[in-house]
Chain A
Amino acid sequence: MSEEQIKNLEKQFEERIARDEKIEPKDWMPDKYRQTHIRQMSQHAHSEIVGMLPEGNWISRAPTLRRKVALLAKVQDEAGHGLYLYSACETLGISRDALYEQLHSGKAKYSSIFNYPTVTWADMGAVGWLVDGAAIINQVPLCSTSFGPYARAMVRVCKEESFHQRQGYEIMLKLTQGTPEQIDMAQDALNRWWWPSLMMLGPTDAESVHTEQSMKWKLKRKSNDDLRQQFIDQTVPQAELIGLTIPDPDLKWNEERGSYDFGEINWDEFWQVVKGHGPMNKERMKARIDAWEGGEWVRDAAMAHAEKKAERKIKQAI
């Protein structure tokens, strides 16, 4: 194809996106679009899968049967989200195995929030309320992103995430209606998860490398700082309603802006965790790699069995 032909295709492609048309896997697309989507969607899928670990940590110790069932269902939903997203990625011509390889080698990232430990039961509430809450803010705009399989997966994911967020908030609500010990547990969880949740919405706009291109492709519709502000404005009244205090002495309603002003985020901590030095980075990766390597013989057996079955079928037919 000549350079001019490619330019022409690119122009048509950008026009389709501008008209809000969906790009489907078999459509022509610039290589950069393909690679950017593989990167973002797989990062999202990895976050779902790694995100199963901190919550899975409390399944065996959930305090009641009702809570246990809800937590199991939630973590199972996350596995399901991972599955859709890996499948959506595969439509762009990369295998799930190759994506896992990128995760395990450290080439691909996942959401840094999952590198913090879940130390008490209240963390199940805080994670649902704050982490899923921040995730929704990030993901709702993606329901109308330009790549069809991603947009459709996001519609379902967002419905489930919204349920998870309410579930997490309800855990916190119940704790704050409980004994002083339970109230302390809830406050302590908020104290530990608040700042990492704000960081989850990504580096400040000045430091975010991918934003401009992503905006054009509708992979991003608002900047990280705008999303963060939206999250804070939405969450502060929820904390007040259940009598919890946001651990930020600089948090103050700004009448003029119609938004909360907030204190400085410790970006050193953020980059430290992104670079692999968070409290749980090594454990999370080890758990994923152990599951994958430890399961290799199972996957090999399934393949071998399927081949034997197919051979027998052919022999019978002859």
Chain B
Amino acid sequence: MSFVKWKRVFRLLLKDKLGLIGFALMAFFIVVAIFAPFIITHDPQAQHYSDNGDLLNMAKPSSEHYFGTTNMGRDIFSQVVAGTRVALVVGLTCAVMVTIIGTVIALVAGYFGKWVDDLLMRITDIVYGIPFLPFAMIMVAVLGPSIWNIIIAIVLISWRTTTRVIRSEVLSIKQRTFIQAAKLNGAGSFRIIFRHIAPNIIPLSLVFGSLAMGWAIITEASISFLGYGDPLLVSWGKILFDAYIAHAITEAWWWVIPPGLSITLLVMSGFFVSRSLEEILNPRLSR
């Protein structure tokens, strides 16, 4: 990629304030996730006691506990910081896997057409027909409540959207002259798909990748909220679930607002980034 193009990207970014905010937010969360062990003030699972030995439950925010404590006397600030890492790992792993799986299926379906396309698209239809959250609940019930099983459940379902959109893009690229030319030159299917078509749809894949990240984070939180999350891991969804079962919503806003807001901001940054990518890649919208 040439310097000139980079300059255009950069100029567009500066113009697109929302996109800039999105990139900044995401960078912020990534930094927090990487340096989480240094940022946390307490062990997220440790219980804290007041000076006279009582469990510090649902303490208000203070200089010792920035976001207060839970009903079990755990430091909420440290939990939220630790949760950032879980959210990013879930979000990014799912995004990468969904993008790869979704794109490959779309490429194969779109390129080969005919019965291959029919078959793969009908499979997509079936996956569309499976309700997401209940399916994830079943996966967790079968495989056990670990974060990896939740990730598997999310990936197994989420590739459908990526596939569908990218396939139609592949269909239109396939008709373009340079593909026809490559075919005439005797290039193999594999080569055409991965050398000629793939590079053209990767930008679009990226857009969907950043959407998938947000989707994955919300889904993890929702599964945790229904009580099917990984109980040994401090995720934002788990913090919200703990607050919900402790009936803290009317009593301890500091327990409910920070994790919820973190989810929202991180997911939103994914939207902003994807929009911004879209505008960079598809100048028609950005006039």
Do A and B pair up? The answer is: no
Chain A residues packing against B (C-beta within 8 Å):
none
Chain B residues packing against A (C-beta within 8 Å):
none
